[in-house]
Amino acid sequence: MSNSVYFRKININGETKSVSIVVSSAPLTQTKQTTFGIEVGCRTQTTALFGVLSLTDPKTGKTINEKHPMAIALGKLNPGDEIPGYRFSTSPVMAKAINGEEPLATGLFWVESAE
């Protein structure tokens, strides 16, 4: 597996305001076409994994929030930008259990340092 991931978007948890980054294993591209007279973008399909990169402040060890300088700087990334030094783990991201039910896999994987 590659030692790079590709930026997709910033995700802000509605409850905790913690920031994570959604990434893909390959850059995602799109084509333009016209559908019913409207120009639309359509993502070209590729075999790609999607994952979550959860970052912490190295000084405090706490997860960064939406107002943290790191989150603001990362918000300037563009979809498809390569983020070297990270790889997909084999650990799936699990949805929060509700009403005592078992948590379900989300189809995402946690992303970890490649070092």
- Residues 81-107 pLDDT 10s: 999 999 999 999 988 777 778 778 788
Domain boundaries in the chain?
A: 4-28+45-113
Give yes or no for a contact between 18 and 64, defined as CB atoms under 8 angstroms apart. yes
Pairing of strands 38-43, 30-35: antiparallel
Residue type, 10: I
- Residues 20-64 pLDDT 10s: 999 999 888 778 889 999 999 887 767 889 999 998 999 999 999
In 3D space, the residue among 95, 96, 90 whose CA is nearest the CA of residue 109 turns out to be 90
Structure token pair of residue 20: 């994570």
